[in-house]
Amino acid sequence: MSLIARHLENHGIATVIMGCARDIVEQAGVPRFLFSDFPLGNSAGRPHDAASQEATLDLALQMFESADQPGTTAVNPLKWADDESWKYDFMNVDALSHERIEQLKADFVQQKATAMRIKQTSK
């Protein structure tokens, strides 16, 4: 996405990247970046939380007016949790039991099967 944003900017189309991997996105040199200190995959706000999603989108759109130089990063003030313990627990396989890992794998397989069924019925 970072490379696409740079390409679009070079052709006169303004962009804002919303993301959670600050080091990676900033290294790619995007013109405008809204960083949310959330788990990967949640850059548009908290799941099932329309208010946080709307607030995040509003911040991103405001960057079109407020970002006055290339490479501008704004930080979303919303917090994922009251403390930062989620950063140590999120995707930490060592902290999961064998049973929990197997359940997560089964859930993933089920999600893929559901997505395939939806894809096939929409053709």
25 and 77 both lie in a single domain: yes
58 and 111 both lie in a single domain: no
78 and 98 both lie in a single domain: no
Among candidates 46, 13, 51, which has minimal Cα distance to 32?
Answer: 13
75 and 123 both lie in a single domain: no
123 and 66 both lie in a single domain: no
Domain limits for position 121? 92-123
17 and 75 both lie in a single domain: yes
Q: pLDDT (tens digit, 9 = 90+) per residue, 59-82?
A: 999 999 998 888 999 999 999 998
Among candidates 66, 78, 82, 79, which has minimal Cα distance to 16?
Answer: 66
Question: Which tokens hold the place of 20?
Answer: 């959670």
Q: pLDDT (tens digit, 9 = 90+) per residue, 18-37?
A: 999 999 999 998 999 999 99
78 and 118 both lie in a single domain: no
Among candidates 33, 37, 14, which has minimal Cα distance to 25?
Answer: 33
Q: State the total domains in the chain.
A: 2
State the chain's mean pLDDT as an integer: 91
The answer, as to whether pTM is greater than 0.75, is: no
59 and 109 both lie in a single domain: no
